[in-house]
Structure formats: C-alpha cells, structure tokens
Structure 1
Amino acid sequence: MATAKTKQKILKTFLDLLSEHPYEDVSLPLIAETAKVKLSEMRSAYASKLKLVAAFLEQIDTAVLDERDEDMGDQPPRDRLFDILMSRIDAMAEHKEAVRALHKAARKDPALALDFNALEVRSQKWMLIAAGIDVSGVKATVVAQGLSVAFARVIGVWLDEEDEGMPRTMARLDKELDKGTSFMKRLNKLDGVAKGIRSFFRKASERSGRRGDRAESGREDTDLGGEAPAGA
C-alpha cells in the first residue's frame, strides 16, 4: 500500500513530466522510474494516468475550497462563481505547462476528452457548491457540464495569455458567465414548465384513480342490491 507521501511524490513527478513532455509520452513506467518508486507502488498508488489526472483535479478542488472567501456570501451568485473560478485558475498557475499538456491531449483525442470531461464535471459541481449555488439532481449535472465546457474555453485563453493581470482571461470568463446566466434562466423556465406538466399529470392520475374507486364502489352496491335472498 503506497503511503500518502509516496502518492504525493508520484503525482508531483507526473505533473513535472507533463511540463516537459506530451501527455501520451508520459507512461506509468517513466513516472515510476523518475519518482524512484517500484512499479508495485505505482500500481498501488495510481493504476492509470487518468487516476493521476483525477488526483490533480482533486488537489485543485481542495485548494479552492480551502481558500474560499467567506465574505463573498452577500454577493450575487454570478460574482461568487467568478471569484471561485478565478481562484481555480490561480491554483493551477503553478502547473500551467502541465495543464497545457492535458489541454492539448484532450483536443487531439476525443475519447480522452470525454474522460477528462467527466472528471471536470465532478470538480465543477464542487465549484458550484463553493459559490453557494444550489442545484441538485439532473439539473446539477446539466449545469456542471455547461460550466465545464465554458471553463475549458477560459483555460484556452489563459494558456495563451502572458499578462500576469490576466485581463483577457477575466474578460472571457465574464463572457462565458454571461452566457451561462442566460442559459440558467432558460433552464429554470424549462424546469418550471416540467414541474407544471408533472403536477398536471399527477393530479389527473389522482382524479382518475378517485373516479375508478367510485365506479368500483357503485358496481359493488349494484351487485349486492341484486343478490337473491338465501333459500329463494
């Protein structure tokens, strides 16, 4: 069983290698050799590169959640989410070249992109929670999926930006959140319509059930009324 220290060393080695090599060239044996750990330890710690990517995203999630600004609670949801996502970019800054390698790999390999997307959706659900945006069930997945796609576009701008103030990145995030706000309004309307339809059919079903009960009761009364006396 790999220790927490060994797992951290392996993850750091993976990110360092990604900073210098394409994702497809960074193999598990190379990571193990560079980190100076046995393959058995590698297997115990991370059985695949995707698990290493998941660990990296979880590390970013943790950094954002730990640094969440409690004073943003009285701000509009959009502003809170902007702050959270910028904090996410700040947390990634140390590993910008590794993020670049992951970004390039996803653009070249659609199957890998789907795997990365599933991990990012999970992370974005936590970003929504951190921003105090209350969504649940299927709606939470839909919103997190949209946010994942939008954030990927923002990351594309960030990777090409050299200005430390990140004006282009922030402008793109503003634009994506504006589109997201419009989407949320449409989604809420659809959600309201869907709830209305479900309520209509539920009430119709209840009325139908009551009519069926009355009809059944009437038939029982008729049957009893027409029964011949015993011994007739």
Structure 2
Amino acid sequence: MATAKTRQKILKTFLDLLSQHPYDDVSLPLLAKTADVKLSALRECYSSKRALLEAFAEMIDAAVLDDRDEEMDDQPAHDRLFDVLMTRLDHLAPYKDAVRTLAEAVRRDPALALEFNSIAVRSQRWMLIAAGIDLTGIKGRIVTQGLAMAFGRVVETWLDETDEGLPKTMARLDEELNRGEAWMKRLDSAEKFARPFWEAGKRARSRRSGGEGAEEAAAESAES
C-alpha cells in the first residue's frame, strides 16, 4: 500500500512538471517515471490527472483553513472573505508557475474548463465557510459558482503581477467582492419578490394533492 509520503512525492512531482511543461504534455507515464514510482503505485494514489488536481486543490484548501485568522471573526463579511482569499493566494504562490500552466490549459480546452470549474466550486465553498459565510440551497450554489468565477479573474491578475505587494491583485479582489455584494442584493430582492408566488404555488400543489387523496379515499370507500 502506498504511503502518505509517496502520495506527497507524486503530487509534488506533478506540480513541478506543470511548472515546466504544458498540461497536455504531463502524462501519467511521465509522472510515474519522474517521481520514480511504479505505474501501479501511481494508480493506487491517483487514478487520473483530475484526481491530482483535486488533491492539489484540497491541499490548498486545508492550508487556508488551518491558517484562518480568528481575529477577523468580528469583521464585515467582505473583509473576512477578502482575508481568506488573499491567504489562498499566499498558499498558491509557491506553485505560481503550475497555476499559470493550468490557467493556459483551461483557456484552450472548454471541456477541461468544466472539470476545473467543479473543483474550483468545491474549494470556494470551503473558502466561504472559512469566512463564516455558510449559504445553503440554490442561493448557496449560485453564490459559490459566482465566487469561483470571480476568483478565477483575480488569479488572472495575480499571475501577471510582479509587485510583491500585490496592489493590482488586491484591488481586483476588492472590486470582484464589491460586485458580488451588489449582485447578492439584487438576488435577495428577486427572492423576496418571488417568494409569495412560490408559496402560493406550494399551497396550491398541496391542496391539489390533498384533494386527490380525498377523492381516492372516497372511491375506495364506495367500492367497499
């Protein structure tokens, strides 16, 4: 059975290869050879390149969650999320070249972009939780998807920035979060507007269901 050390070595090798080669060129046989492991060990640890990408995202997620600043808990939601996402960029920094390779691959391949999106949405769900923003239901899914797309745009700015202070990246993140907040207000207004109609429809469906049940019961009683 492969050890945690072997898994870590394979993932590190994968990220190193991505920093040097296009995504499509980083094949599983190349990865196994470079990491000096058997293909069977690679299969046991990671069954696909997607599994490796998921492991990378989960590694960054865990680092951000462990590094969460509890002193931010009494700050506005905007500031808490800003801090969490900047922390995420801090943890991505050692892998910036690999992230650049992945970003280029996504721009070329729409199918790959869909795969990346599902991974990004899962990660951003945890970033919201880290910021103390735990949304559920359809609103939660919409907000998480929106945040994944917004963070992707922030990453594009981050990849091009050379200033270690990241002024352009921080400005872009602040802009994206402000835009998201404005959009959330419109979403809340739309939800409040639609709720009476949704509730009326729910009551109508309930009455129809109850009426059908009563008719069935009456029919059964007449037959007996």
Give TM-score, length-normalised by structure 1: 0.88
Cα offset for 1:62?
Answer: 0.2
Q: Report the equivalent of 1:184.
A: 184
Cα distance in 2 for partners of 1:54, 1:200 equals 43
Q: Deviations over 1:170-200 (max 9, x none)?
A: 0000111111001111111222233322222
Q: Which secondary structure state, in structure 2, belongs to the residue aligned with residue 133 of structure 1?
A: coil
Whether 1:37 aligns to 2:34 is no
Q: Report the equivalent of 1:4.
A: 4
Whether 1:167 aligns to 2:170 is no
Q: 1:44 to 1:201 in 2, by over 3 A?
A: same
Whether 1:118 aligns to 2:118 is yes
Structure 1 stretch 200-209 or stretch 41-50: which is displaced more? 200-209
Cα distance in 2 for partners of 1:206, 1:192 equals 21
Q: 1:152 to 1:5 in 2, by over 3 A?
A: same
Q: Which secondary structure state, in structure 2, belongs to the residue aligned with residue 2 of structure 1?
A: coil
Q: Report the equivalent of 2:221.
A: none
Cα distance in 1 for partners of 2:30, 2:48 equals 13
Q: Report the equivalent of 1:16.
A: 16
Cα distance in 2 for partners of 1:47, 1:206 equals 47
Cα offset for 1:3?
Answer: 1.5
Q: 1:9 to 1:207 in 2, by over 3 A?
A: closer
Q: Which secondary structure state, in structure 1, belongs to the residue aligned with residue 73 of structure 2?
A: helix
Structure 2 residues not aligned, in runs of 5+: 219-224
Cα distance in 2 for partners of 1:202, 1:52 equals 44
Cα distance in 1 for partners of 2:118, 2:168 equals 27
Q: 1:3 to 1:204 in 2, by over 3 A?
A: same
Give TM-score, length-normalised by structure 2: 0.91
Q: Deviations over 1:5-47 (max 9, x none)?
A: 1111000000011111111111111111011000000111111
Q: Report the equivalent of 2:146.
A: 146
Structure 1 residues not aligned, in runs of 5+: 220-232
Q: Report the equivalent of 2:104.
A: 104
Cα offset for 1:114?
Answer: 0.6
Q: Deviations over 1:142-172 (max 9, x none)?
A: 1111111110110000001000000000000
Q: 1:14 to 1:198 in 2, by over 3 A?
A: same
Cα distance in 2 for partners of 1:206, 1:107 equals 48
Q: Which amino acid aligns with 2:112?
A: L
Q: Report the equivalent of 1:136.
A: 136
Q: Which secondary structure state, in structure 2, belongs to the residue aligned with residue 74 of structure 1?
A: coil
How many pairs align? 217
Cα offset for 1:60?
Answer: 0.4
Q: Report the equivalent of 1:89.
A: 89
Q: Which has the larger radius of gyration?
A: 1
